[in-house]
Chain A
Amino acid sequence: MTTSDDASDHTQRPVSTPTARFMKAIYVYEVPVRLWHWINALAITVLAVTGYFIGSPLPSLPGEASAHFLMGYIRFAHFAAAYIFAIGFLGRIYWAFVGNHHAQQLFRFPFWDRHWWAELFLEARWYLFLERRPKLYVGHNPLAQFAMFWCIGVGSVFMILTGFALYGEGSGVDSWQDRLFGWVIPLFGQSQDVHTWHHVGMWVIILFVMVHIYAAVREDIMSRQSIISTMISGVRTFKDSEEPADEEHKAPAAKSKTVPKASEPID
């Protein structure tokens, strides 16, 4: 597989023939998934900002203590957003069961799927400018799925477990938070280490968000399918006629014969 720019390659691809188009649009993200995505994005923003200021508070306020409740409000916002985050995540897990198969991707890590790994490295090569063209995906590409699974799937569980364990410290030994999540604290050693790891978790999610937003914008421009608008409308649109690599589709045989199979090398 090369990244050749030779002319024959260009002529093979029926880019400009609208009749050969595979499918213009596929409904991918259902309403609950999209709703969760944006609520979650907001919750993470609030959690990261307030969380940072809990660890490193704002400059001290003058006057009487009774005149202020700044840390109280910051912590309240953190806990409120945390509940929204956690309940949203539970709802998202529920939707993985009842929604379409794209809703399961966040929770799946096909470790034993060699084909999946091959496509993951292909996608990585595309990001390293080693590949001429990325493949088409209706859902997440394998690399994106990998990041989603670890940073948001596993990452959310981690943050919810450590977060509620820390919250349980304040709500007391007999609170349901402590009964359900209190075991996390001795697991890490003691409270201080749970704080540290919760903090590290925040940075991991921040790094993910940075890459996520960049990749979404870049893919929207440079890849062969829509990205950003898909998370708003739910519909994935494609810029060319090739079949997506991850979809078992029922395209008419006449049409699919005119384009190269996804499993074949593109170039």
Chain B
Amino acid sequence: MATLETFYEVMRRQGITRRSFLKYCSLTAAALGLGPELVPQIVHAMESKPRTPVLWLHGLECTCCSESFIRSAHPLVKDVVLSMISLDYDDTLMASAGHQAEAILDEVMEKYKGNYILAVEGNPPLNEDGMFCIIGGKPFVDQLRKVAKDAKAIISWGSCASFGCVQAARPNPTRATPVHEVITDKPIIKVPGCPPIAEVMTGVITYMLAFDRIPELDRQGRPKMFYSQRIHDKCYRRPHFDAGQFVESFDDEGARKGHCLYKVGCKGPTTYNACSTVRWNEGTSFPIQAGHGCIGCSEDGFWDKGSWYARLSDIHQFGIEANADQVGATAAIGVGSAIAAHAAVSALKRAQHKGDV
């Protein structure tokens, strides 16, 4: 790590031809939704810029983000991304362990002060002074704060880091807290999903390296290029939704014919992600294509919205599990009965005072 090679040098050293390199640049441009005129810009960046060190921390998480990441097909993580970025610390993937590993963290932080990217998978629990997640003998929240201090930007991998996900689901005993609520003075790119799509993860990193800036973010801090549309907007089953053709229950005729999964609780209409366009495992499939509704894993608090097989959310404030329709209909029946009773008493009263106004 004495002198950092450029991306291109690393790729050539690994036996990748210039032709393959240019193809990769074109593919990356396409994956990022950029026009062909921007390919030379990516080529130039790859040829001239030194690799950016990335420190990848793990808090309360299940490593599904890492599992997804290493399956990226375009670009292929094995050949490109792990060479492209200088992934200097990732306790799941790195060879070193223990004190050796922690030493690397300190070294990179010092050497590339203000120039490294911090990628966070999982989130810090804040209850009991953060004792629910210990890394190297210290609470994870301390490590996170320390590394974030001199980072150029932070990537929140997955729904845990972005929104809290399962750790932060009610009642959240450890007070697991999303990264942006702990680190407030750095640009944070949220890449939600449980896990996020591999190509989305590598796409975000590639964009940041190639253009030396963070991608354009939406109101919730997610890259617009991947999170500006709902699953529903680009779902191949959308015509069945518009037609009013639904799966009423799994394994019915509609399910066999591939009708819309809305009525069995598909959260596609409320979920922003690229699943219906990028898909998973080299574009093989995605949940809806496999016949199961979207569970909305890239949305804030998706664990606490009631059943994954019901469209309407549960409203917890009523103590029991009830959705808007149940609450509303109950209230309507109550008010209706009250009106009927009131009308009856009114009529009686009126009869009692017949004659006077």
Contact = CB atoms under 8 A, between A and B. Distances in A.
A10 interface: yes
A240 B331 CA distance: 37
Ranked 8 nearest A-B pairs via Cβ? A203-B328, A70-B244, A199-B324, A191-B270, A68-B243, A65-B243, A72-B242, A192-B270
B254 A57 contact: no
B296 A214 contact: no
B350 A221 contact: yes
A129 B243 contact: no
A211 interface: yes
A59 B299 contact: no
B56 interface: no
A170 interface: yes
Interface of B: 218-220, 224, 228-230, 233, 239-248, 254, 259, 262-263, 267, 269-272, 296, 299-302, 305, 311-313, 315, 323-325, 327-329, 331-332, 335-336, 339, 342-343, 345-346, 349-350, 353, 356-357
B244 A68 contact: yes
Prevailing SS type, chain A contact patch: helix
B154 to A, nearest CB: 19
Q: Which of A59, A186, A200, A211 has the most B CB atoms < 10 Å from its CB?
A: A200
A214 B90 CA distance: 67
B339 A61 contact: no
Given A199-B324, A218-B346, A60 B312 contact: no
Contact of B336 (A10, A71, A192, A210): A210
A135 interface: no
B328 A199 contact: yes
A4 interface: no
Interface in A49-63: 52, 55-62
B104 to A, nearest CB: 37
A239 interface: yes
A203 B332 contact: yes
A186 B220 CA distance: 6
A192 B305 contact: yes
Given A189-B300, A195-B270, A211 B224 contact: no
A55 B311 contact: yes
Contact of B300 (A52, A133, A190): A190
A14 to B, nearest CB: 11
A104 B124 CA distance: 52
B333 to A, nearest CB: 10
B244 A15 contact: no
A222 B350 contact: yes
A202 B328 contact: yes
19 contacts: A52-B325, A56-B312, A60-B248, A60-B259, A65-B243, A68-B244, A170-B233, A186-B219, A190-B220, A191-B230, A195-B312, A196-B312, A196-B313, A196-B315, A199-B328, A200-B328, A203-B324, A206-B328, A222-B346
Contacts of B328: 199-200, 202-203, 206-207
Contact of A71 (B244, B267, B345): B244
Contacts of A183: 219
A60 B256 CA distance: 13
Nearest to B163: A190
Nearest to A223: B357
Contacts of B339: 210-211, 214
A200 B324 contact: yes
Q: Which of B228, B269, B301 has the most A CB atoms < 10 Å from its CB?
A: B269
Contacts of B246: 57, 60
A60 B244 contact: yes
Nearest to B345: A129
Contacts of B325: 52, 55-56, 199, 203
B312 A57 contact: no
Q: Which of B224, B245, B246, B311 has the most A CB atoms < 10 Å from its CB?
A: B245
B233 A61 contact: no
B254 A60 contact: yes
B239 A66 contact: yes
B230 A169 contact: yes
Given A61-B244, A196-B315, A210 B357 contact: no
Contact of B243 (A5, A61, A185, A200): A61
Contacts of B240: 65
A5 to B, nearest CB: 8
Contacts of B313: 192-193, 195-196
Interface in A143-187: 169-170, 172-173, 182-183, 185-186
